[in-house]
Structure 1
């Protein structure tokens, strides 16, 4: 019975009750139709123009929402009744990116990024002498080299009510600190809504107050590390999506949410998106309706703001563009920015739920319950990037939803994207299937591989030049090698099925990929306990400890697992499984390191029905040497925890001594937590020094 209610709960999450007017056709049909008719998909975006037009658009949005259980997915496909106007913009040629930093700087390490030349913000950076760290509500700068003279040279504290730092960029001249700020603002009532005298009196005494959240970047001059000079602040209305830094240009992206219910039903005046650049104005500047564009085929009640700032042009104001829409996942090459947003569309009415039998305690069989059938798709927007900012160039969509930024890639002027469509517990047409699509610069379809690994979903994907590598999972880990050389006719070259899965794939060279994930074991169901009538018996996969694997794809038709090692028992985790920036890797020296939270089974049970969870026993850095001759060699482990910390830990450890990043400067390996920076000799791993950050 518990199993039934669990599955019923899962189904209810994905049950859709929507009312959609003037809907698009399913994404696959839309792409195919555009190709068959030879229609261009790239046109200049219309502008909102006025508050009346915005209300008209938002009314369509409100009637087009997708409701899943008790939650709301605002990414419903909605069609505005205004047709695009304007000439088709020509596609900008894009260079062959998809390049991956395989080695490292010989003097000091850098953040593990997706695309060479496109820097990503992180909580810790270094420049070969200093370590820059976002540490709770502080920015801490530590002189790290020489290691025997480690000391804090600057710490800047921020009031949590005013600014919360999140991550940073560092170059030769600047430190850019990015975080969230908050303000209280009085909201104007809509004069078009009739109010009684009593209501007007109350609104005068108790005006509506709203919290305004912003994304703030503080730019410092790094000339004097011990006394940073603040050059300027820039700020975007909304919540932080992501950022990139290409050369001297910083790109910031934010979402500002619009409460359609309050606007449409409670008379709230729609707010305009705004920004601030202290170079020209200490106050926020609103972007008016004639300067806000929208995506006609996909509207979401958000303003997407994209800002660019050339740090070398000290007298140049930040450039900001605003779009009625949204951004969820970001991919950037050196010349283009791609924004991806999930969208849903119901394609048929659901079957009615079976009626409960009076005075019966028997629940309906799970096979009798039919969730609503819907299509998922990913809306895509391309913006060209240069010193003049980000300019919209194209929009399109593909079936299915993406996993993360590594699901997207640009190479030789083509855009590649991997998606999962359907649900892993779905049946027939609704079962999950995985796909790869190749689009041109106008985001029109060129080639595709569909229906990969039915019943599974993508756990990791990596594009490398003419190839792609995909890991899907349900019970076993199929590792697929994809040939993407011909964008019109991509194909699967080979596949390998092994236990476990990879959450992150990192290139070693053109023929070898390192996978970071979990080991698994597949167990058969041996009794009827928890099995509902009509439910087939089968097997379940249970994850175990962490797994490192190397895939050899020299023979593309026959990939093999060349090396493998595991860490800990069930429950063992690492930030590198969720955040690629936590990985330190240098191919030239064979250095491979990442933080690990180790869980170990202390008192194993004989023949357990399911694998046991381990208990906490270690948190710190695992340091390996890796090469293609000997595989993974564990050189040592470094922790900031003392014995007293372990005694306090219990089942898990959460504290200021959890190692977050590992880096090196010259011949020293540094491990950094919020409480400590420890320096170890890179060759012997012997401790050389430690610096207490927060006594």
Structure 2
């Protein structure tokens, strides 16, 4: 390679001067806008390549909103060969790699990419003998993606094989949105899915948002503090937000859009020490996290038409400029604009407090993402947030609108975020920094964010994707977001006489997006796809580098090739399917899944409950080991130990489906009361039901059947507790097996906590019931329920005391005798 004379002089100068400032990806933006001069020297810009900080000898410079970086250092980082032609007056630089060629000259805005002339936003420039070139143009010319974070003023360069393509321009966005229109998407951008479920007469179905998991009680953070329960989570060490938490001294509860902090001990002196309210009148608190130093409250805010104008910071290549093209440079904010967020826009917000004196907790930070709150996780000091924001595609599909009108409409809905650690303004994410999932776009922005709550100076790391994701699983190192994908159909095939059509659930697949996470940062690292739909987070698992997922394909009630079938898939670290079992339990669907190292337990149901045991020891060859068929089904499976499993669900009876005189001879399963079962899977080929317990009659319900966080379990104490609403039939007829009798609902008789002792010798033993309702409340109760505000929502323990929480009260009860020890009325 021929070296330019200017480069030789620069190399000599470097021997006499110290190294330039080290650039990292954690550079903190000052919050003020860069000067709008034609050239700005600003060493606060951060650079990274494939997630690693980049050391460049010459600091980047900002030239008319174009980030300029040293050619020789950049080309060396990207593996690009550079040759100089000193015979030309301007020392032309020719860069080549893998058949791609770029030619650049100092001071000349006209560059050659292959044989095509390209006009640059800023001309290459000489700086101390070093040629500085436009970062985005040069990198993307050699199949790298450049992402700009306006809040932290950092540029991330990613090899295309390790990242996703960006939307780049309005025209590309328009094309992608048009391609995303499937049957069932209305012209207003909403999604309408009519499932031909054919569930017979089973009235309770698990929903896509149903949750479940495993819990590990705390042994106490200090010797002087008694042991206390923690939230029942899926993966040990990966915390999940809930409506209530304790640190062993205080109880923190999301209560009627406030957080109430209660001193728990001594039990006869329980008292509310503070009530945390929020400055934002539209903020709706949903869940919280607690650690030794901080409280994080997560919720949503709806910006209405009467909201005050909010400062919004223009991001890179925002749609306020219609000239955005794939090779455009990362724009840097030139000024802050006061804008009003669109009416009805919803954001996901996390508010962080320093605990300190619990009576006066100080708010230290707020972060906000566009979209509805989907899920979150907390690992140590790192918080991860996921939201989904729908895009109205009506402007794109409406032929009556001109192209500029369509562009203006889409421009007004670009995703944005806010981090008070950087500034109080919203940062809009431009086309150049919105990635999209090839072949699986949806009219939706999936936003994934990470931040360190222990380092208030570290900006939130935010990425936005054109596409959707609703089920979230997280291990200690990876975040997986699953999305149901329907077979696309061209707009021409949509019915002309209606704006929606039916989607057959059997025509869907599940796409899984994998993200690496750590230290409050999230990086996209792969994508996989499997047939069928996923039930909930417990249908997914990561073990020894492999990802396992269970799905249901087809529809219950069908008797053709589209009948429901259940599957187990194993994907490797690159998200490629390496093993599978398909067509399990035809005609049924998955109701619950649980993984335990090299085993998976799967419950399917139509009229009876088969519990399948699946061997995953060899990822390339998963195998069915055994199954057990019993009446009822389990919505949630919880490990007791290595060889025993607890199932929570509903009891069922199998009756003739003859209705109104129609005696077809077919049978259906009708759910009855709540059922618990203890399974022995020691002999994997022959699983057994050791014990079972049924609560109430048809209509009995527990949040545990939809939300695993409602379970309190301690194997060491033999303790099992959960909230339940009991419905009972008081005038039961003799023929309980008839359809009419089996389909009857009970009437309300109890709401509160059921507390059990559980061991392998005696099974379930009801220790007692705890309620917050008085005798007078029960006498005034209706047929279906009592007083909602007095419904017990969670049970936890500190030392030898159980605490039950409703919106009106926290009650302390002795764990051994269930004797009431004290209570506090909540304001």
TM value normalised by structure 1: 0.81
Aligned with residue 542 of structure 1, among 664, 670, 694:
670
Residue 381 (str. 1) matches residue 513 (str. 2): yes
Equivalent position of 2:174 in the other structure = 55
Say how many residue pairs are matched: 594
Q: Structure 1 pair 441/278, CA: closer, same or farther in 2 (3 Å)?
A: same
Which of 715, 725, 735 lines up with 1:587 in the alignment?
715
Report the CA distance shift for 1:103/1:149 in structure 2 as closer, same or farther (over 3 A).
closer
Query: For residues 282 and 546 of structure 1, what CA distance do their matches in structure 2 show?
Result: 49
Task: Return the offset for 1:209.
Answer: 5.4
Is the 1:137–1:160 Cα contact (8 Å) retained in structure 2? no
Equivalent residue for 2:807, pick from 663, 667, 674: 674
CA distance in 2, matches of 1:311, 1:166: 19
1:327 aligns with 2:327: no
1:173-205 Cα shifts (integer Å, max 9, x gaps): 00000011122469999999xxxxxxxxxxxxx
Deviations along 1:180-233, whole A, 9 cap, x unmatched? Answer: 1122469999999xxxxxxxxxxxxxx995222101100000111110000011
Q: Counterpart of 2:180 in 1: which secondary structure? A: helix
- Per the TM alignment, residue 58 of structure 1 is displaced from its structure 2 partner at its CA by 1.3
C-alpha distance after superposition, 1:480-530 (max 9, x if no partner) = 111011000001100000001101000001100000011111012467724
> 2:589 is matched with which residue?
457
Q: Report deviation, 1:372.
A: 6.5
Q: Report deviation, 1:590.
A: 0.5
Match of 2:528 in 1: 396
Q: Structure 1 131/69 Cα, relative in aligned 2: closer, same or farther at 3 Å?
A: same
Tell me what 2:485 maps to. Answer: 343
Aligned equivalents of 2:544, 2:576: Cα separation in 1: 15
From 468, 479, 483, the equivalent of 2:611 is 479
Match of 2:547 in 1: 415
Distance in 2 of aligned mates of 1:636 and 1:155: 32
Aligned to 2:120: none
CA contact (8 A) 1:128 1:145 kept: no
2:824 maps to which of 670, 691, 695: 691
Gap change, CA 1:497 and 1:69, over 3 Å in 2: farther
- Partners of 2:506 and 2:553 within 8 A in 1: no
Query: Residues 361-380 of structure 1, C-alpha deviation per residue, up to 9 Å, x if partnerless?
Result: xxxxxxxxx99695211011
1:122 aligns to what SS in structure 2? coil
Superposed, 1:643-654 pairs within 5 Å as 643-651=775-783, 652-654=785-787
CA distance in 2, matches of 1:555, 1:461: 19
**Compared with structure 1, are the counterparts of its residues 42 and 464 closer, same or farther at alpha carbon in structure 2 (3 Å cutoff)?**
farther
Aligned to 1:353: none
Q: Does the alignment pair 1:247 with 2:387? A: no
Aligned ranges 1:459-538 → 2 under 5 Å: 459-525=591-657, 529-530=661-662, 537-538=665-666
- Contact kept, 8 Å, 2:216 with 2:236, in 1: the verdict is no
Residue 146 in 1 paired to residue 263 in 2? no
1:171 to 291, 300, 307: 291
**In structure 1, C-alpha distance between the alignment counterparts of 2:434 and 2:236, rounded to whole Å:** 32
Q: Which residue of 1 is the match for residue 455 of structure 2? A: 313
Q: Distance in 2 between matches of 1:52 and 1:178?
A: 36
Shift of the 75–275 alpha-carbon distance from structure 1 to 2, 3 Å rule, reads: farther
Q: How does 1:37-186 map to 2 (within 5 A)?
A: 44-62=163-181, 64-66=182-184, 73=191, 100-101=214-215, 104-105=218-219, 107-158=227-278, 161-184=281-304
Distance in 1, matches of 2:463 and 2:320, equals 26
> Larger C-alpha radius of gyration, 1 or 2?
2
Change (3 A) 1:46 1:181: same
- Single out whichever of 183-192 and 672-681 deviates more from structure 2: 183-192
Secondary structure of the structure 2 residue equivalent to 1:172:
coil
Decide which moves more: 609-618 or 115-124: 609-618
Q: 1:292 to 1:527 in 2, by over 3 A?
A: closer
The answer to whether the aligner puts 1:300 opposite 2:442 as a matched pair is yes
* Structure 1 residues 457-495: Cα deviation after superposition (integer angstroms, max 9, x where no partner): 011100110000011000000001110110000011000
- The 1:374/1:224 distance shift into structure 2, 3 A limit, reads same
The two structures, once aligned, show a CA RMSD in angstroms of 2.8
Distance 1:100 1:621 in 2: 19
Give 5+ residue unaligned stretches, structure 1. Answer: 1-40, 77-97, 193-206, 349-369
Report if the CA contact (8 A) 2:187-2:394 is conserved: no
Q: Partner of 1:569 in structure 2?
A: 697
Cα offsets for 1:20-67 (capped at 9, x unmatched): xxxxxxxxxxxxxxxxxxxxx9653111112222122112223x4445
The 1:99/1:537 distance shift into structure 2, 3 A limit, reads closer
